[in-house]
């Protein structure tokens, strides 16, 4: 990802430093506290590394906040206009599961679109990092979806929240044997906006013999939060190779997954040979609309909480239902190593 923006004490931000990273349409803001009184310190002490804010661009912040308030949402920030020499942005924020928030951003006001690096208070910033010869210009094109983990019995409440407050629709549901292994289980529902560009799967644990990945997350994150972020790529082979070179660790998948004749028959022809997927431990799934390729990193921080998914879609609108068992068994192996299964 490319460093494009910065906010810190040098520019009047006495609370924290923030770096804006960009790849395609993705914007990540990575923050670290500067002030000993920064709320970021308490948040990190409680949760560890994690996703604090899932921001959404909207055409009219005032209407969105008014609708959210009328629908019973907790408003964390009333709409306000912030400006600098590059123009103005109107922002507001509402609460979602746990201590996660949605900041709503309106970048066009009275026909004028904000032209700065990110938001007022940020300045343009580039990095001295030099890419290797032959490295692709970008690895990721978009943020495909963000998965949230909530407590047992709370999933339907948050599905209803997104239906009621944001007007999202129910896109998919996974329960029972589709989303269970011999030892653990969970339940999942997916909500999305009208054109399905914004997708939020929501998971809750289910009662089983042993602790599920959702139970482990809730324990170590000390509550609900964003479990993983799925990054869309046009070339998953190249992306995985590049990330592996840079030291990123991915979940392992047994060779038996790729050698299963039933799986090969169900998947049919895909753009890359199965042997190339096997070499990189990339999962593949097909539905009535097409197929997808996906792989998952190991947890990124010291706690077994947040991780990334890399996904390449070819028509498929799904989430790799056919891979759930293989994926969850892989996660269980990692849980067992940590003594958390």
Domains of the chain: residue spans and CATH: 2-124 (3.10.180.10), 142-338 (3.10.180.10)
Buried b (16+ CB within 10 A) or exposed e, 217-237: bbebbebbbbbbbbbbbebbb
Q: pLDDT grade, residue 336 (50/70/90)?
A: confident
pLDDT at 77: 98
Closest CA to 63 of 161, 166, 164, 162: 166
Query: pLDDT at residue 322 above 80?
Result: no
Say what percent of the chain tops pLDDT 90. 78
Are the CB atoms for 222 and 301 separated by under 8 Å?
no
Tokens coding 39: 């709320």
End-to-end CA distance of the chain: 34
99 annotated ligand binder: no
DSSP state of 13: -
pTM of the model: 0.93
Residue 326: pLDDT above 90? no
Q: Give the pair of three-digit tokens for residue 256.
A: 């038996």
The answer to whether 288 is a known ligand-binding residue is: no
Q: What is the overall mean pLDDT for the chain?
A: 93
User: What are the start-end ranges of the E strands in 243-320?
Assistant: 283-287, 290-296, 307-314
Residue 101 structure tokens = 């928030």
Q: Which of 219, 247, 186, 185 is nearest to 339 (CA)?
A: 219
Per-residue pLDDT tens digits for 168-213: 999 999 877 767 777 677 889 999 999 999 999 999 998 877 788 9
How many C-beta neighbours within 10 Å does residue 42 have?
11
pLDDT of residue 136: 82
Predicted local distance difference test score (pLDDT) of residue 303: 96
Q: What secondary structure letter does DSSP report for 132?
A: P
Q: Cα separation of 154 and 151, whole Å? A: 5
Residue pLDDT, tens place only, 34-85: 999 999 999 999 999 999 999 999 999 999 999 999 999 999 999 999 999 9
Q: Is 43 annotated to bind ligand?
A: no
């Amino acid at each position: 990802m490319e460093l494009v923006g910065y906010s810190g004490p040098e520019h009047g931000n006495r609370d924290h430093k923030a770096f804006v990273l960009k790849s395609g349409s993705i914007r990540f803001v990575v923050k670290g506290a500067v002030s000993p009184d920064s709320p970021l310190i308490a948040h990190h002490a409680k949760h560890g590394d994690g996703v604090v804010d899932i921001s959404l661009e909207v055409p009219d912040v005032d209407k969105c906040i008014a609708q959210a308030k009328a629908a019973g949402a907790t408003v964390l920030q009333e709409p306000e206009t912030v400006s600098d020499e590059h123009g103005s942005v109107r922002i507001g924020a509402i609460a979602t599961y746990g201590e996660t928030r949605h900041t709503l951003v309106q970048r066009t006001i009275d026909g004028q679109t904000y032209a700065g690096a990110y938001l007022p208070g940020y300045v343009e910033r580039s990095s001295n990092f030099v890419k290797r010869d032959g490295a692709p210009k970008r690895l990721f094109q978009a943020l495909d979806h963000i998965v949230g983990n909530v407590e047992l019995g709370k999933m339907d409440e948050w599905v209803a929240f997104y239906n009621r407050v944001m007007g999202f629709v129910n896109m998919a549901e996974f329960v029972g044997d589709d989303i269970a292994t011999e030892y653990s289980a969970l339940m999942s529902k997916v909500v999305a906006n009208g054109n399905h560009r914004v997708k939020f799967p929501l998971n809750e644990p289910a009662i089983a013999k042993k602790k599920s990945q959702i139970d482990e997350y809730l324990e170590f994150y000390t509550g609900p939060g964003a479990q993983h972020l799925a990054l869309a790529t046009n070339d998953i082979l190249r992306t995985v190779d590049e990330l592996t070179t840079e030291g990123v660790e991915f979940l392992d998948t047994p060779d038996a997954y790729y050698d299963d004749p039933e799986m090969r028959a169900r998947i049919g022809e895909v753009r890359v040979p199965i042997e190339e997927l096997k070499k990189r431990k990339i999962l593949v799934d097909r539905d009535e609309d097409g197929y997808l390729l996906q792989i998952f990193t190991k947890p990124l921080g010291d706690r077994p909480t947040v991780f990334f998914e890399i996904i390449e879609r070819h028509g498929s609108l799904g989430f790799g239902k056919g891979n759930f068992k293989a994926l969850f068994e892989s996660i269980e192996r990692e849980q067992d190593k940590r003594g958390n299964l």
